[in-house]
Amino acid sequence: MTFMQVIDCKTSRADELNSLMDSWIDATQGKRTATHSIVGRDRADATHVVEIVEFPSYEEAQKNSHLPETDRIFQEMVALCDGEPSFTDLDVVRDEQLNKILVRSFVDDVINARNIDAVDAMCTAGYREHDPSLSSYDLGLAQAKIENRETIEAFEPVVTIASLTAEGDVVCARLSFEGRHVGAYQGMEPTGRQISGTGHATFRCEGGKLAESWWNLDDLGLMQQLGAVAG
């Protein structure tokens, strides 16, 4: 079970504390068991600092605590704080990564369920799409809908998400797809051929919506399967 430790402290030396965290990262490289660390400062009180550190489990957190580098950094952190820091130990019982859920909904609802109009609620008004297979590498939402509708209707694809990776407001998806050429596509009449391939897509999220996307699919492989390009 994922484990998180919340360290709450007061300090008038926040910049020094931040530098100390950099020192801890350098000193424990290749040894630490922590997987994620976030440091936040209270907007209402600049001396109130909270750090949240994530571990794969409580047992792994204990291993991290026993590192000599961790103990040294802790003693230096206490010296920078106005009083003793408080610690809260949390077993994570629910972890919703909302941007990843949004991307998965895009694949399931827009592509696999063939509901292109669903993007209206998922995307920002200024959404931009970058895809070398479309008429321009920088399309707005309206034109992207028109061209993506043609692709979806031409191949009736089923997309499978192999993996999703999120960092900040960006989500990267590793994809595979299968379908059949049943409709006109970029001037090509339907061939009835089965198609399949792989690719990657990267999404930038903003305010709970998709603001931008970059697509890299196996377009050459697709053309070869359709007989438009020699294999």
Give residue 231's pLDDT: 64
| Rounded Cα gap, residues 18 and 5, in angstroms | 17
The residue with greater pLDDT, 171 or 34, is 171
For residue 157, the enclosing domain spans 98-226
Stretch 1-16: mean pLDDT: 91
Stretch 104-116: mean pLDDT: 97
Q: What CA–CA distances, in Å, run from 126 to 35, 74, 111, 114, 122?
A: 34, 46, 21, 22, 12
Q: Are residues 156 and 67 in the same domain?
A: no
Give residue 215's pLDDT: 97
In a domain, 231, yes or no: no
In a domain, 120, yes or no: yes
Q: Are residues 105 and 193 in the same domain?
A: yes
Q: Which of 91, 125, 142 is the last residue of a domain?
A: 91
pLDDT, tens digit, for every residue of 111-140? Answer: 999 999 999 999 999 999 999 999 999 999
Mean of all residue pLDDT scores within the chain: 92
Model confidence band, residue 26 (pLDDT cutoffs 50, 70, 90): confident
pLDDT beyond 90 at 28:
no
pLDDT, tens digit, for every residue of 174-214? Answer: 999 999 999 999 888 999 999 999 999 999 999 999 999 99
Q: Are residues 121 and 67 in the same domain?
A: no
pLDDT, tens digit, for every residue of 45-77? Answer: 999 999 999 999 999 999 988 888 888 888 898
Q: What CA–CA distances, in Å, run from 11 to 3, 5, 228?
A: 26, 19, 66
Give residue 54's pLDDT: 93
Q: Are residues 117 and 211 in the same domain?
A: yes
The secondary element (H helix, E strand) that includes residue 141 is: helix 141-155
pLDDT, tens digit, for every residue of 147-166? Answer: 999 999 999 999 999 999 99
What CATH number is given to the structural domain containing 219?
A: 3.10.450.50
DSSP string covering 58-109, please? HHHHHHHHTSHHHHHHHHHHHHHSSSPPEEEEEE-S----HHHHHHHHIIII
Q: Which of 62, 91, 120 is the last residue of a domain?
A: 91
| Rounded Cα gap, residues 74 and 55, in angstroms | 17
Q: Which of 71, 91, 111 is the last residue of a domain?
A: 91
Give residue 27's pLDDT: 83
Q: Are residues 82 and 106 in the same domain?
A: no
The secondary element (H helix, E strand) that includes residue 51 is: strand 48-55
pLDDT beyond 90 at 230:
no
Give residue 134's pLDDT: 92
pLDDT beyond 70 at 93:
yes
What CATH number is given to the structural domain containing 45?
A: 3.30.70.100
Domain count, the chain: 2
> Which pTM does this prediction carry?
0.77
In a domain, 176, yes or no: yes
pLDDT beyond 80 at 141:
yes
